[in-house]
Structure 1
Amino acid sequence: MASDARRARYDGLADWFDPTDQPPRSISAAQEELLSLLGPGPGPCLDLACGTGGFFDAIRASGRSVVGLDVSADQLRRAREREPKLVRADAAALPFSDGSFSAVVAAWMSTDVDDLGRVLAEVARVLCTGGVLALYGAHPCFNGPAVRTREDGTRVVHPGYREGRWFESSPWWGDGIRRRVGMRHVPLADLMNALIGAGLSVTRVLEPGSEPVPAALAVRAVRSP
């Protein structure tokens, strides 16, 4: 569960950092990649840590209805312009019954929570049997506080990759969102083990984009019976 200070990090930033205005990558490309990962299906989909709702359209395009959840009231204020079904709550303590959703989208949020294992356990709980998780976010190996991106798109990984902890700053962050809110670095093994520990079966892994070195990692996982 996030501390009160971290809960408030995104408050006051919604008008500056809307993913349709300043996305980590092209929002249209990311939506298409997320839609491909999610696949078509019916029923309600929880957009976990939805922010201002930049992925609502992709979820609807899959045939599902949207329920957005975020801990930041400011982010939800902007999200409400795109979707009325919103809930303010902590991703580590979801206020839903077991098996409530046919799918969960978790986009660009794995680096914003204190305990990813606990969050994914909650995701598994609220997914119905056979329900799909589409996890899309920072590539643990090539997009973090220990990584410096060169002008040609190549990346240099400095010491610190194995430090799975919260980083307030990094000498290689520019003037983007991370300089304002920090991030929790989640090494690749920790990410995969959190999925396994939650009882989620990985069925597909993507490294989206056309950059020489991928900045994003996307995982499709299913709740087993």
Structure 2
Amino acid sequence: MASSFINQVPTIIHLVQKLQPVTVLDIGKGFGKYGFLIHEYAGINNTKKLDSSKSLRDLSEITIDAVEVDADLMLPHLSQFYRNVYFEDVLTLYPKLGNYDLVLMIDIIEHIEKNKAIELLKHLLKTGSKIIVATPIEFFEQELYESPFEHHVSHWQKKDFDNLGYLNSQFFSAGAIYLLSNEKLDVRGFGNSVIKKFRRIVRAIKNEF
């Protein structure tokens, strides 16, 4: 999806900061905002002087590749953020890709048939990647940018991810963010983290008075 829900952006960037990846794969990168924001908030060493002759990609300590099926989104600024942009269907590309610390699937999984997406997730987890998936809570038809790739073909709920690996999730008004991994993660401030549970308890106690 070229664009996505604006209110999920801070949570996703917070997750990336906490996970501290060195290599990232951005599947369905759209306009490239996550490439830019990950470099800004998680990749740039702000104790060092910036070299204005270098691209943001080269200044960052994080390497980001992207996958995009829609050639209309082959935008000139993307080379500033991404080392490689693969313009190919991820379902044919993923067996040829290397391993990544973190994979982003932000408002993309609903554009893939469910059985094929499950196989993709299994493969990524098998390679050791952590995966952030963001998807709408409700299924709805979509027509954007006159693009055949913007149609929704699957609807995802928490139960669809339950048997894939360790799962953490957080919901907001229109969508859900899922964190999948091969190991149990307690990301402070996200989903079922201990600190988040503690804050919920404190709020509940305050509401009693």
Q: Could you say which TM-score interval applies, normalised by the shorter chain?
A: 0.5 to 0.7
The counterpart of 1:188, out of the listed 143, 152, 157, is: 157
Count of aligned positions: 158
- Tell me which residue corresponds to 1:201: 166
Cα distance 1:215–1:33, how it changes in 2: closer, same or farther (>3 A)?
A: same
Most deviating of 32-41 and 101-110: 32-41
Cα distance 1:83–1:201, how it changes in 2: closer, same or farther (>3 A)?
A: same
- Give the structure with the larger strand fraction: 1
Gapped regions of structure 2 (runs ≥ 5): 44-61, 185-209
Q: Which amino acid aligns with 2:90?
A: A
Deviations 1:175-224 (A, max 9, x none): 7569973211324266325xx24xx311x21113xxxxx21100111124
**Residue 63 of structure 2 contacts residue 82 of structure 2 at CA under 8 Å; is this kept in 1?**
no
Matches within 5 A, 1:1-225: 19=3, 24-26=4-6, 29-38=7-16, 39-60=18-39, 61-63=41-43, 64-77=62-75, 80=78, 82-85=80-83, 86-93=85-92, 94=94, 95-97=96-98, 100-114=99-113, 115-126=116-127, 128=128, 131-139=129-137, 143-145=138-140, 170=141, 176=144, 181-188=150-157, 191-193=160-162, 196-197=163-164, 200-202=165-167, 204-208=168-172, 214-224=173-183
**Residue 47 of structure 1 contacts residue 104 of structure 1 at CA under 8 Å; is this kept in 2?**
yes
Between the two proteins, what is the percent identity of the paired residues? 9
Cα distance 1:73–1:206, how it changes in 2: closer, same or farther (>3 A)?
A: same
Deviations 1:127-162 (A, max 9, x none): x3xx421111211xxx213xxxxxxxxxxxxxxxxx
**Residue 48 of structure 1 contacts residue 107 of structure 1 at CA under 8 Å; is this kept in 2?**
yes
Larger radius of gyration: 2
**Residue 45 of structure 1 contacts residue 59 of structure 1 at CA under 8 Å; is this kept in 2?**
no
- Tell me which residue corresponds to 2:207: none
- Offset at residue 123 of structure 1 (A): 2.0
Deviations 1:67-113 (A, max 9, x none): 1111222223356254242112322231213xx21111110001111
- Give the structure with the larger helix fraction: 2
**Residue 92 of structure 1 contacts residue 122 of structure 1 at CA under 8 Å; is this kept in 2?**
no
In 2, the alpha carbon distance for the partners of 1:103 and 1:136 equals 14
- Determine helix, strand or coil for the equivalent of 1:68: strand
Gapped regions of structure 1 (runs ≥ 5): 1-9, 11-17, 146-169, 209-213
